[in-house]
Amino acid sequence: MMLTSLPVGWMPTRSALQAYTQAMTAFPRAAGPADPRWSHVAMDPTRHGFVTRPTPLEDGASLMAIVDLDDHRVSATAGDDAIDIDLQPGPSSVSVGDALLELAGRHGPEIAVDRERFGTSETLTYDTEAVAAFFAQARTAIEALDRVNAQLSGEIAGPHLWPHGFDVATEWFSDRMVDYGDSESNAQIAMGWYPSEDSYVYVNPWPFRDEYAQIPLPGGARWHLEGWQGAKLDLNAGDPVALDTVVELGATVHAATEASLGT
């Protein structure tokens, strides 16, 4: 299995998928059980796409929404009630959010969602071939992340699809707490796949130490030090990248930085 670049012209479809998933996750963000790692605002991978965390409704039902990237639909359920939206015509993300809001409203008071997260009322570009290419690559990236996670001990979250940045990522958390603005956060390592015009895999140890940039990286990866800091493996630079190379990159960064992140 390989990771590679995505099709030329994929970006409008990427924007559509991001808009749909942001509208879908507006509901668990507003009314779902809060996860301390914010996993409730992410989407979990399924065999056919990605699914939101359940949002409890007043009558005891739970709202769940799935973006099915094989059949190109958004399907949502609340108990025995359901809706189904065909994505191939490129419906607006607002129409998707409104349909979910209507479904939820049949089971209790209207959820006070942030409607700005519904995105645009414009028709969107949805290219089924681009979606198929994305999802094939997403499945490969998820397998790589799962294989890295299987080598680790400690607290792990993911893999998830994060609609805000539209990346597929996992996080490992150290027990060490670090000052972060006005609060504290666990030291951590995030590993993910960023499917954009210039796709790449990243492994970001945080807080970053200057000496990390001296760690040799496998498979043509390099240290990215401007803007964000971490290991970066570009996927648009040449030949496809083997799944084993991605796993090796994650394992290398974890092995070299985990101990220091815990002290």
Residues contacting residue 135 through CB under 8 Å, at least 6 positions apart: 49, 69, 70
Distance CA 186, CA 168 (A): 20
pLDDT (0 to 100) of residue 231: 98
143: its two tokens: 């397998």
In the chain, alpha helices (H) = 11-31, 93-105, 128-149, 243-261
Collapse the DSSP code of 80 into the 3-class scheme (helix H, G, I; strand E, B; otherwise coil) and give the result. coil
pLDDT (0 to 100) of residue 27: 97
As averages over each run of 10 residues, the pLDDT of the chain (263 residues) reads 91 98 98 95 98 97 98 97 98 98 95 96 98 97 98 96 98 94 93 96 97 96 96 88 97 97 87
pTM, rounded to two decimals:
0.96
pLDDT (0 to 100) of residue 236: 84
Domain ranges of the chain: 2-126, 129-261
**Strands 73-78 and 81-86: what pairing?**
antiparallel
Distance CA 138, CA 168 (A): 7
Terminal Cα distance for the chain, rounded: 37
- Which among 172, 185, 24 has a CA at the least distance from the CA of 96? 24
